[in-house]
Amino acid sequence: MRARWLREALLLVLAIGAVLAVDFPIAWMPLSSIKEFGDLFSSPPRIVPREITFRHYITLFERTGFGTYFVNSTVVALATVALSLLLSLPAAYALTRYRFPGREAYARFALLAYMFPPVFLAIPLFVILVRMRLGNSYVGLVLTHMTFALPFSIWLLRAFFRAVPLELEEAAWVDGATQLQGVWHVVLPLSFAGVMATAIFTAVLSWNDYLFAAILMTTEGKKTLPLAVALLTSEASSTEWGVIMAAGVLVTIPAVALFAGMHRYVVQGIGVGALKE
């Protein structure tokens, strides 16, 4: 009995050590963002700041269009989620509820499409979108985000819809429900966690995108957060680390909030969807 406790304690110490090692670079970011210059650039580095300051956050909003980038990123992520759910929900339903020639091929293509190298989709997409006068536009950017959001949503939702037993849907029909009512009252509520997980993932993927924004968005007022922050680091001199860390904190918070608030769905989401049919 005592050996058991000892073993558990030992494992716990190991696991906590691993968590500290893995997460400490992340924790270092908010800590750096509230340090005065003296503490930020002291040698040896000070772990606990002598004085807390929010000047880097103020500088960030004063000197860059951070609020605008924030809004841009949010709009693009929401539009990407809405459009990809709109297209992938019916697709996933058809792929799990009907038998027809080409069904497997379609599903496989969706999986394959998710593995196409984004850089090389970016080159032709850039030419095509600029020709269509969609360069430097949110519509163009949302379309490029669909290249990863849509295949991913189809693949994930298909896995979740499959897990909803057909019998339950049929039982609703026997009770006189139409097929659409069956979807609304049976399939969607039972796969709610899956739909949520899909929406969150899609939003985070869009929120994180740097590549497509970098090739497409050229004017200052239309930049999304990842692009603006990356430019901030390449332009900034070595004294700006406080501002850069402040920007990093603000970009990370929404992603963390989404994941934390819906941790349950996300874990289920990766468990069911990401892997095997």
Cα–Cα distance, 165 to 174 (Å, whole number): 15
Residues numbered 128 to 147 that lie near other proteins (CB under 8 A) are 128, 143-144, 146-147
Determine the angle formed by the axes of helices 138-162 and 118-131, rounding to 10 degrees. Answer: 130
The one segment of 49-57, 58-66, 157-165, 184-192 that binds other proteins by CB under 8 A = 157-165
Tokens found for residue 48: 């606990």
Among 3, 105, 180, 275, binds other proteins (CB under 8 A): 275
The one segment of 50-58, 61-69, 187-195, 258-266 that binds other proteins by CB under 8 A = 258-266
CB of 165 within 8 A of CB of 97? no
Tokens found for residue 93: 């339903």
CB of 257 to other proteins, least distance (A): 10
Residues numbered 40 to 59 that lie near other proteins (CB under 8 A) are 40-45, 47
CB of 187 within 8 A of CB of 164? yes
Residues numbered 80 to 119 that lie near other proteins (CB under 8 A) are 86-88, 90-91, 93-100, 103, 106, 108-110, 112-113, 115-119
Cα–Cα distance, 45 to 28 (Å, whole number): 11
220 in contact with other proteins (CB under 8 A)? no
CB of 203 within 8 A of CB of 258? yes
Cα–Cα distance, 74 to 111 (Å, whole number): 27
32 in contact with other proteins (CB under 8 A)? yes
Residues numbered 189 to 208 that lie near other proteins (CB under 8 A) are 204, 207-208
CB atoms within 10 A of CB 6: 10
The one segment of 48-56, 57-65, 184-192, 247-255 that binds other proteins by CB under 8 A = 247-255
CB of 88 to other proteins, least distance (A): 6
Among 171, 181, 184, 218, binds other proteins (CB under 8 A): 171
6 in contact with other proteins (CB under 8 A)? no
DSSP annotation of 240: G
CB of 23 to other proteins, least distance (A): 5
The one segment of 54-62, 64-72, 189-197, 227-235 that binds other proteins by CB under 8 A = 227-235
How far is the CA of 171 from the CAs of 43, 96, 98, 174, 199, in angstroms? 71, 17, 17, 5, 28
